[in-house]
Amino acid sequence: MSSQQHAPNFSLAGKVTVVTGASRGIGRACALACAAAGSDIVLGVRVPAKAGDLVAEIEAMGRKALAVELDIPNKDHIAGLIKTAVDAFGRIDVLVNNVGVAPGDLAERVEESAVDEILNINIKGTFLMTQAVARHMITRKQGRIISISSQAGTNALRGEAIYCMSKAAINHLTRCLAAEWAEHGITVNTVSPTFIHTDGTQRYLAEAENYKATVDHIPLGRIGETSDVTGVVVFLASPAASLITGANLLVDGGWSVA
């Protein structure tokens, strides 16, 4: 057996990847990283017309890209995205669930509307998107589903009780779906980042007190970069991770074990 047969394969060449919430932050970075690994990309975004630069960036890598309207958990949007992807590329090999919201407040002050928003988008939306794509994958007897969760699903964060609950639910849902869909050749995993430098965290981390308090919680001593997350996503989507399912991979710099 040659040394090449022993080497892990991290390539996504010839794959088709759907990334939701792809317009910015971790979602955008995941789309670019999967494209760099060889995959064509379907971008689930609220306003496709605003994703032209991202489409162009992916196409400059020699990959194909489509921006499709997606407002989670709108079932018509979900169905439309899947139809568009299959019509254009013939299949969906990888789904990266990245849509989520996190309006925080102390538990005693949380409004019912905030509870509804978080559960509707983070839990219901993730499930409906995953279910719809999995139905397609089941017919093909293969697929990779990766949900961007959070360290909040493992750790107790003050002022984030409902968000923490939603991410803990996604982590366990992942285990349940992994058990159900393994017989169809589908792997289901989550990636749980700590604080990552993105547009969404920029304002919070710009305050010196917040930055220091956050870094002090991270044993490795730094805020994460999107590349810290996308490396794990590409790994889970690749043949190198073919025996991993039902896992929650923490990208938290050690926060959960400190």
Q: What is the pLDDT of residues 241-255, one digit of tens each?
A: 999 999 999 999 999
Model confidence, pTM:
0.95
* Cβ-based burial of 247 (10 A; exposed 0-12, middle 13-18, buried ≥19): middle
Considering only residues 165 and 258, tell me which one the structure prediction assigns the higher pLDDT: 165
Closest CA to 51 of 32, 37, 33: 32
What does the domain layout of the chain look like in residue ranges? 11-243
Strand pairing category for 143-148 and 16-20: unpaired
Retrieve residue 30's tokens: 């995941």
How do residues 186-209 score in pLDDT, each as one tens digit? 999 999 999 999 998 999 999 999
What length does the chain have?
Answer: 258
- E strand map for the chain: 16-20, 40-45, 65-69, 94-97, 143-148, 186-193, 248-251
Q: What is the pLDDT of residues 18-62, one digit of tens each?
A: 999 999 999 999 999 999 999 999 999 999 999 999 999 999 999
Residues recognised as catalytic? 163
**Fold (CATH) for 11-243:** Rossmann fold (3.40.50)
The answer to whether residue 165 scores a pLDDT higher than 70 is: yes
